[in-house]
Amino acid sequence: MTYPNPRLSRRHLLAASAAVVVAFSAAACTAPATESPTSAPTPGGHRPSASDPWRPAAHLTAEKNWLNDPNGLVYHDGTYHAFYQYNPRGNSWGNMSWGHSTSTDLVHWEQQPVAMEASPQEEIFSGSIVMDKNNASGLGSAQNPPMVALYTSAYGKNGALPQGAQAQSVAFSLDKGTTWQKYKGNPVLNLAPTNNNFRDPKITWYEPGRYWVMTTVVADAQVVKMFKSTDLLHWDYLSDFSGVGAQGGLWEVPELIQMDVQDSTAKKWVMLLSINPGGIAGGSGMQYFVGEFDGTRFTAENAAAPSAPLTESQWLDHGADYYAANSISGAPGGKPMLLGWMGNWDYAQHVPTTPWRGSMAIPRELTLVRGQKRLELRSAIAGVAREALEHAGEVKSKNLTVGPDPRDHNSDLGADFATRTQLIELEMDLTAAREAGILLRRSADGSASLRISYNKEKRTVRVDRSKAGTSNFSEKFSPYHEVALPSSGSDSKVRLHILLDSSSVEVFAQDGAAVISDIFFPDWDNTGSSVFSMDGDTDFTVRSHSL
């Protein structure tokens, strides 16, 4: 859970670099309201329109008001539940509560009533949910085991802890996530002395020890703290993880995941970790570490030193708008399935959308592979979401060869590719060219477009949003982002899977070896698409599933 200005936040005043002693609780700042809370479900199927041109058609967002970090993500009885940081009273950060949306395919979402709402005594910050199948917590029954949420209580006036303090609390649901009750013994985990940046509990089951492991952060000390429990209510300290990777800002939303190494019998543990500021694209970003976990301590292997250039750290996404992603507990498929916030704290509060602000990225699944120097994560659109996207609209395809002459009318992809939301498979063979790419959401006169390109000599993919639409809302709205791809047998050929939505693009390059996720704000009438080639001819194969 991040703050819009962490360096000025009242909760950032206590330096967490001081020694802290773990203390356990056996016992069980709100912005002014601008409108009434949303309490009734909203109908699904909200679509972009000329009056709401940037509303996503294929991504989770709220009908109205502010949304950021995903929280309790859980799959149960055929339904995906996404809880998230939500302001039920306005379109900017504040009154932090848990919003709730549900889906059966990870593309079409229905907003539910607010799950847990902020009060003057306690805001509901980030956390996670697990199904307590054996009722180890005792909060349900063998016949009706509970959903259990671990979340951060951020205390205000007259709260259970001093104002500004953060600690971990429990809530539970006995009706499949519809309503929630707070545990009477909250908070269940605190630090001594209390800390203003102790947050973001994420729960992982550790099978060899038959206990749950909680990862949390002391955000401004760049420390992940780990605890264990057999009942989700009483927690014992395990260890700290720190001292490696990018440390230019707050560490947030950690998660420990065990993964198979592709084409191997080996297993490794992966630590996901968000950072703000200090990300690879500026502002918010997500790094990860691969290593071993022995039930007590996580040890990263081949991790970058804090003093190393950011390019030596491992990043989950090289765009500006992918943050606070964590996995969906209980999701089918065998691979970690992540949902992340499509935003960046450099400018998130200023993006020109109304009456809503903030959306999620498309859910993605992770694969762990052996890279050239170390183990690396690959990302792909989650299978169930991809299937929904591919069946949502008509498929169009085109094969063409384009030269460097900008007057080449053959480069225009035509009406078949002139949709605001589409899943594009783009293959380019640059044997004779230096650079090639595609222009999306292009204006009729060609002056505006989102430019996605591949440079053969540098082996870099770039997403350039500098001429893609409205950008004057923030000086920190960076113009472009790029990533170098690993060398392959033929650096002249590149494959891109591109999910274009009303105000976002996600580019998965070379089967997910690198991803760039960016938001942008095009004019409603700009729907053209074309390809281009520089310093030689390029062969293109383009397939599009329009939504």
Q: Which residues are catalytic?
A: 69
Quick one: tokens of 174?
Answer: 């006995």
- C-alpha span between 390 and 381 (Å, rounded): 11
- C-alpha span between 186 and 16 (Å, rounded): 22
Degrees (nearest 5) of the Cα angle 130, 133, 139?
A: 80
210, 219, 295: which is closest to 15 by C-alpha?
A: 219
Helix (H) or strand (E) run with residue 384 in it: helix 383-390
Cα 178 to Cα 79, 131, 146, 312: the distances in Å are 12, 14, 12, 44
8 Å CB contact between 117 and 37: yes
Task: Give me the residue label for tokens 């749950």.
Answer: 212
- C-alpha span between 71 and 15 (Å, rounded): 25
8 Å CB contact between 99 and 83: yes
- C-alpha span between 506 and 362 (Å, rounded): 8
Say if residue 295 is exposed, middle or buried (CB neighbours under 10 Å; 0-12, 13-18, 19+).
Answer: middle
8 Å CB contact between 256 and 249: no
Quick one: tokens of 506?
Answer: 């996600």
8 Å CB contact between 304 and 245: yes
Q: For the chain, count helices (H), then strands (E).
A: 1, 35
8 Å CB contact between 404 and 411: no
Which amino acid makes up residue 400?
L
What's the distance, Cα to Cα, between the start and end of the chain in Å?
A: 32
What is the 8-class DSSP label of residue 425? E
Cα 81 to Cα 104, 131, 188, 277, 487: the distances in Å are 9, 12, 24, 29, 39
Quick one: tokens of 359?
Answer: 């959306």
